Amino acid sequence: MQHSKSEANVKAIEEDARVATGIPGFDEMLEGGFPAGSLITLAGRPGTGKTIFGSQFLYYGAKEHKEPGMYVSMLEGRKQYQRNMHRLGLEIAPLEAKGLFRFLEMPTLTAEGLPAIWEEIVRNIEEYNIVRLVIDSFTAMTQAFQTQGDLRVFTHMLLGKIVGGAGCTTLMITETPHADASTGAGAAMQEFIADGVLHFSLVPVTGDARVRYLEITKMRGTDHQMGLIPVEIGSRGISVQSPHVGGRA
């Protein structure tokens, strides 16, 4: 069983299959979705929509395509997460009962403890035939590292296991500290190693108003939308508006 699922993943990757997010308006901006088996970094400041985006991606896959997904959380507990998702109309429990959704709560550990965390993630991917994976967050997970070098070696090794080995399409959430992340000036290691990068932002306009944007700054092997893409978060979650013409911040 396990074996055949992994083969299915490999086949999807070879055929350059696309993994649709189901986020209204988004998939058509990148040839139907993320490349199967790719590693995508979701970067942005707090409250910009990264968790909601990742959760909708898993929910859609599970509900519409019966693809098992896993949310690995270092930041919030299962109950809190479920409550937040319920408010957006995403009912996780029935999918969990069918083995189509898994919430893996992970503590933030020391650098020594990290291999154990990764082992646990990989074990769950194999045991539950996970096809879609969200890690929330890379930042929380790697805070224990002292040097960029350690972090880099470790990330390469273990992402090789997840992305290369199991072949699941992975969204890795990264918290960015800077107000304007869209220029790419502060691009970090996780953006270089990723196959794709999405930047989430919340930009002040006149008065107290704020506009939410999403920008695809990288997507290997894909003809994708360029520039700032207006997005909205409402009671049904995140959705994409028609693109901003000529968009640069």
Ligand X SMILES: Nc1ncnc2c1ncn2[C@@H]1O[C@H](COP(=O)(O)OP(=O)(O)OP(=O)(O)O)[C@@H](O)[C@H]1O
Q: Footprint of ligand X on this chain (CB under 6 A)?
A: 44, 46-52, 87, 175, 233-235
Q: Which is nearer to Mg ion, 174 or 225 (CB)?
A: 174
Q: Which is nearer to ligand X, 90 or 121 (CB)?
A: 90
Q: Output the smallest distance, CB 95 to Mg ion, in A.
A: 20
Q: Which is nearer to ligand X, 60 or 128 (CB)?
A: 60
| Contacted by 178, from Mg ion, ligand X, none: CB < 5 to 8 Å by type | none
| Contacted by 175, from ligand X, Mg ion, none: CB < 5 to 8 Å by type | ligand X
**Is the distance from CB of 224 to CB of 216 less than 8 angstroms?**
yes
- Return the residue nearest Mg ion (CB atom): 51
User: Which residues between 14 and 73 bind Mg ion (CB under 5 A)?
Assistant: 51
Q: Which residues pair with 237 in a beta bridge?
A: 234
Q: Take residue 162 and report the two structure tokens written for it.
A: 């997840």
Q: Output the smallest distance, CB 84 to ligand X, in A.
A: 7
Q: Output the smallest distance, CB 165 to ligand X, in A.
A: 27
| Contacted by 187, from ligand X, Mg ion, none: CB < 5 to 8 Å by type | none
User: For residue 249, how many C-alpha atoms fall within 13 Å in the half-sphere facing its CB?
Assistant: 23
Q: Take residue 47 and report the two structure tokens written for it.
A: 């409250």
Residue 95, SS3 per DSSP: helix
| Contacted by 177, from Mg ion, ligand X, none: CB < 5 to 8 Å by type | none
User: For residue 53, how many C-alpha atoms fall within 13 Å in the half-sphere facing its CB?
Assistant: 30
Distance CA 62, CA 225 (A): 26
- Residue 187, phi then psi, degrees to nearest 5: -55, 125
**Is the distance from CB of 189 to CB of 43 less than 8 angstroms?**
no
Q: Which is nearer to ligand X, 48 or 155 (CB)?
A: 48
Q: Which is nearer to Mg ion, 9 or 138 (CB)?
A: 138
| Contacted by 5, from Mg ion, ligand X, none: CB < 5 to 8 Å by type | none
Q: Output the smallest distance, CB 160 to ligand X, in A.
A: 26
| Contacted by 144, from Mg ion, ligand X, none: CB < 5 to 8 Å by type | none
Q: Output the smallest distance, CB 136 to Mg ion, in A.
A: 6
Angle at CA 103, nearest 5°, toward 67 and 168? 40
How many other β-carbons are positioned within 10 Å of the β-carbon of residue 138? 23
Sign of the C-alpha dihedral computed for residues 38, 215, 22 and 70 taken in this order:
positive
Residues in the interface with Mg ion (CB under 5 A) total 1
Q: Output the smallest distance, CB 87 to ligand X, in A.
A: 6
Distance CA 42, CA 39 (A): 10
> What residues make contact with Mg ion under the rule CB under 5 A?
51
